A and B are shown apart, each in its own frame.
Chain A
Amino acid sequence: MDDIRHIALTVNGQPVECDTPVRLHLGDFLRGILGLTGTHLGCEHGACGACTVLVDGEAVRSCLMLAVQANGRQITTIEGLADPDGTLHPLQQAFAEKHGLQCGYCTPGMLTSLAAFLRDTPDPTETQVRDAISGNLCRCTGYQPIVEAALLAAARMRQTEGVR
């Protein structure tokens, strides 16, 4: 019943080659086969955003994409968001400072969604930030500290950009 296909992709900068059942979605593949359990599943019907990862830099719901569709792509998960030397992404740092997380379950999806958003929209308004996470559900924070953290991270990223 389980058709298997061989795929090759890059995950968090590392080349990965392995077999996957064709019916496995990318979220289950990352969690179950690669052991990258930082990506969370909150609804498995594309509504909560907890499973969001970056595919070739774009924020994608990993529960809505099959693992085999990731063949040849570059995937970034929450485990790959910080610099290789461990320096946190400005968003991760700002989340810690602004109390942008409580239980941490929605957090990986919030961070990956916002990382893609801030790359494309470096100087967002509060409304734009709220729109950017309108597909990410959080039951703990009430969103406000997440929005504040995103704006803080954006300001810092613009500064560093200016220095360069």
Chain B
Amino acid sequence: MGARLVGAQVQRLEDPRLLTGKGQYVDDIVLPGMVQAAFVRSTHAHARIVSIDTTAARAMPGVRGVFTLNDLGPAVARDRMPQTAPSPAIRRSVTQYVLARDEVCYVGEAVVMVVADTRHQAEDAAARVLIDYDVLPAVVDCRAALTGQTAAHHGAADNLAARLSVGFGDIEAAFRTAPHRVTLTLDQHRGVAHSMEGRAVLAAQDAVSGKLTVWSATQSPYMVRRFLARVLGIDEQDLRVIAPDVGGGFGPKAVFYPEEAALAAAAVKLGRPVKWAEDRKEHFVSTTNQRDQHWQMDVAFDDTGKIHGIRGHVQHDNGAYLPYGLILAATSLAPFPGAYALPALQMTLDVIYTNTTPTSPVRGAGRPNAIFAIERAVDRVADHLGLDPAEVRRANFVRADQFPYVTGMKARDGSPVAYDSGDYAACLDRALDMADAAGFPARRDAARAQGRYLGIGVASFIEDTGLGPFEGATVRVTPKGRVTVLTGAASQGQGHATTLAQVVADGLGVALTDVTVISADTERFSYGAGTIASRIAVTAGSSAHLAAAKVRDKVLRYASDKLEVAIGDLELNGGFVHVAGVPEMRISLGDVALALAGTVGQRVPSGLEPGLEATAYFESTATPHSSGSTVAEVEVDIETGAVTLLNHVIVHDCGKVIHPGIVDGQITGGAVHGIGNALFEDMLYDAEGQPVSTNFGEYLLPTATEMPPIRIGHLETLSPLNPLGVKGAGESGTIPAIPAVVRAVENALAPFGVQINRYPLNPERVVNLIDASRGKT
């Protein structure tokens, strides 16, 4: 029996509920006696807390409790939050307290929690908390943070959290021998994640068992369980963490947050369920985001455009604390050398504390930054030599016959990075073809004749996906013949229930609708890591496949014994195991499950282990690399600076496509996120560290009207690194979007000789670029 569902555009199992208003997001859950929390947050970027007066707040109607750090109990108050991603490369790890103790280091840091019967009452009372601050100087620009006198944390000697360095090959020789070089100075900015559902937490302790349950809109329920148990000083088995329906994640929901700990502590203290749902303003300032990186890079190359070496340095604005180790910073260098065979590399990156909201990965993490830098370098080389940028890409690509290609980089575990499979040139050619790049000069010239400016940009990329160690799955068949898949992998809209069901249904020869997927509940499945870094199809997908294969094997062995036929003569189909060619000689999977479920006093048949179920943990030890190319075409209004996107093509290789609609949905949504980064999204702070873009009027997200037609092509070179042949797809639309769009704008402004080294490209910046270059001539 061949695959029937993997690869098919089936309707998602998630949708009937979500389309009719029956989703269950954290804020939809109501428990008896539940009360609501609100937080008082720092209004200063940096200050000492002189005193906190909660008297008036406590007297407000409906108030159940007002909590400063010490009110949360000695276990919670004892120490700062744990470092959730420890690494020997961290020079100085500073995390925040669950509630600020004596110092606040960014606007939005939680200082006091108020719990009341209703949210309105909690907010009213929060407004009555009096905090006396002694304002300290704030460091806001990370470039000044290393050289200046101001410390982001009072008393710290400097603001350097870590210095990362990657490299390979003989960089000195590369720069000595290559005939040409260019220098790039790039200012990159990626903004706030803005899942449409903010963070939300509900904590409740069972009065009888004492067990604490925390529902959280998180990407990482198992990480929350591990660290929350540590903060509360309780055993992990006394804590259950559930991620129910989650309204988008995009990275920041993978972090363990102070509010999760504060609510859990309050629920225990008050003996009542306590809920908090972040509002949008809080999301802007208290949910981790991504911000500025300043890149300096030298590129050495020859007459053909072949790059011999890249060296450079990055200054990375980390924000006030380091909640998630160096994950974001490391991913800003890890994608080197991109899609190219590069002989030599030397890059360093400084992770710098500032008095701004802490950072952590947002869709793509540092990968869009790294690929932007690499692709800008390639464009610069092309411009320098007067070559077609696509030609320079072809001259440098890792060729299809070079896989597995060992890049020279080291993975997070120290092992050598190898690209597993792909055809980078084929992706580029197909993308150029789909975008009718050959017809572009004619389109451009026709437009120019009408005084309009069109531009085209190309970007190629790789993405490391399927990050280890594992995500597991249990496959279980019930006596009714229904199949349950249990996994730790949390979903925030990616459609994992559907894709895992496709994989398992194929493995067992059952209908998709016979499969139920239960996920992200630490009580239902033992271990999990988190939904980050485009890893779930690779890890959980492979585990589901392997677990289904084990169940299938059990079915075959049982049936072979029972029907007295060789295993090779049996098939699984339509919920039955039957003799090939003799469909009436069959046993239903439900009957196999019943037989293996055991009957008192009888031996389990066929010498099998009890129960028709199996668990697998596929360990992803090597990294499947997705790849592809994007072509963007834009029109720039040189008077207003407005950029109109005309066309956006992505040709993508994520290996085997399990569900075309889901993969295309990931890529389209990711591309729009990248376009938002390229053109609109700007999280701004003033010189005192006050955030000045804290609503959707000041911070612009892409809307339906600005988006171009997005067309996607697929190449399927299977990954040899997992049984499904898949590679991740969750961030592949985002990663190449910024360099492609920026290049397209630059290309449109070629008549003015404009060079673009900074995004987002809002209209004001575009007009300034044009004016500056006009002034020059």
* Interface presence of B555 (CB below 8 A): no
> Given the interface contacts A47-B697, A81-B20, A95-B19, does A140 sit within 8 Å of B61 by beta carbon?
no
The distance in angstroms between the C-alpha atoms of A111 and B193, with both chains bound, is: 24
Tell me, rounded to whole Å, the shortest Cβ–Cβ distance linking A49 to chain B. 10
Question: Pick the contact of A92 from B20, B195, B247, B707 — CB < 8 Å?
Answer: B20
Evaluate contact between B669 and A142: CB separation under 8 angstroms: yes
A-B contact count (CB 8 A): 176
Evaluate contact between B21 and A142: CB separation under 8 angstroms: no
Tell me, rounded to whole Å, the shortest Cβ–Cβ distance linking A109 to chain B. 9
CB proximity to B under 8 Å, residues A7-53? 21, 23-24, 31, 35-45, 47-48, 50
Evaluate contact between A38 and B197: CB separation under 8 angstroms: no
Closest B residue by C-beta to A46:
B696
> Given the interface contacts A81-B20, A88-B19, A99-B12, does A104 sit within 8 Å of B245 by beta carbon?
yes
- What chain A residues lie within 8 Å of B196 (beta carbons)? 40, 42, 48, 50, 103, 105-106, 137-140
* Interface presence of B235 (CB below 8 A): no
* Interface presence of B529 (CB below 8 A): no
Evaluate contact between B12 and A96: CB separation under 8 angstroms: yes
* Interface presence of A124 (CB below 8 A): no
* Interface presence of B167 (CB below 8 A): no
> Given the interface contacts A104-B493, A144-B707, does A38 sit within 8 Å of B280 by beta carbon?
no
Question: Pick the contact of A107 from B18, B194, B492 — CB < 8 Å?
Answer: B18
The stretch among B81-89, B131-139, B533-541, B698-706 that forms the contact with chain A is: B698-706
Tell me, rounded to whole Å, the shortest Cβ–Cβ distance linking B188 to chain A. 20
- What chain A residues lie within 8 Å of B703 (beta carbons)? 133-135, 137, 143
Evaluate contact between B704 and A147: CB separation under 8 angstroms: yes
Main secondary structure of the interface of B (DSSP, over half): loop
The stretch among B22-30, B49-57, B299-307 that forms the contact with chain A is: B22-30
The distance in angstroms between the C-alpha atoms of A105 and B247, with both chains bound, is: 5
* Interface presence of B11 (CB below 8 A): yes
Tell me, rounded to whole Å, the shortest Cβ–Cβ distance linking B143 to chain A. 30
Closest A residue by C-beta to B28:
A37
- What chain A residues lie within 8 Å of B247 (beta carbons)? 40, 103-105
* Interface presence of B514 (CB below 8 A): no
Evaluate contact between B195 and A103: CB separation under 8 angstroms: yes
> Given the interface contacts A47-B697, A96-B15, does A145 sit within 8 Å of B665 by beta carbon?
yes
* Interface presence of B725 (CB below 8 A): no
Evaluate contact between A101 and B669: CB separation under 8 angstroms: no
Evaluate contact between A99 and B662: CB separation under 8 angstroms: yes
Closest A residue by C-beta to B494:
A102
Closest B residue by C-beta to A43:
B280
Tell me, rounded to whole Å, the shortest Cβ–Cβ distance linking A40 to chain B. 7
* Interface presence of B14 (CB below 8 A): yes
Tell me, rounded to whole Å, the shortest Cβ–Cβ distance linking A124 to chain B. 13
* Interface presence of A146 (CB below 8 A): yes
Tell me, rounded to whole Å, the shortest Cβ–Cβ distance linking B663 to chain A. 10
Evaluate contact between B246 and A78: CB separation under 8 angstroms: no
- What chain B residues lie within 8 Å of A105 (beta carbons)? 25, 195-197, 247-248, 493
- What chain A residues lie within 8 Å of B493 (beta carbons)? 101-105, 140
Name the residue among A43, A130, A134 with the largest chain B CB count within 10 angstroms: A43
The distance in angstroms between the C-alpha atoms of A131 and B61, with both chains bound, is: 45
* Interface presence of B664 (CB below 8 A): yes
* Interface presence of A123 (CB below 8 A): no
- What chain A residues lie within 8 Å of B704 (beta carbons)? 129-131, 133-134, 136, 138, 143, 146-147
Question: Pick the contact of B120 from A2, A35, A82 — CB < 8 Å?
Answer: A2
Closest A residue by C-beta to B661:
A99
* Interface presence of B709 (CB below 8 A): yes
- What chain B residues lie within 8 Å of A147 (beta carbons)? 704
Evaluate contact between B20 and A143: CB separation under 8 angstroms: no
- What chain B residues lie within 8 Å of A79 (beta carbons)? 20-22
> Given the interface contacts A130-B705, A145-B665, A147-B704, does A103 sit within 8 Å of B20 by beta carbon?
no
- What chain A residues lie within 8 Å of B23 (beta carbons)? 38, 104
Tell me, rounded to whole Å, the shortest Cβ–Cβ distance linking B213 to chain A. 19
* Interface presence of B495 (CB below 8 A): yes
Tell me, rounded to whole Å, the shortest Cβ–Cβ distance linking A22 to chain B. 11
8 nearest CB pairs, A to B: A38-B21, A103-B493, A105-B247, A104-B18, A102-B493, A47-B696, A142-B672, A37-B28
16 A–B pairs (Cβ distance < 8 Å), ordered by A: A37-B27, A44-B280, A48-B696, A77-B21, A78-B21, A92-B20, A96-B11, A96-B12, A103-B196, A105-B25, A129-B704, A130-B705, A131-B705, A133-B703, A139-B250, A139-B701
Task: Using A42-B197, A79-B20, A103-B245 as known contacts, list a sample of 12 further A-B pairs with CB atoms less than 8 Å apart, ordered by residue number in A.
Answer: A2-B61, A31-B27, A47-B695, A79-B21, A96-B12, A99-B662, A105-B248, A130-B704, A138-B704, A143-B704, A144-B709, A146-B704
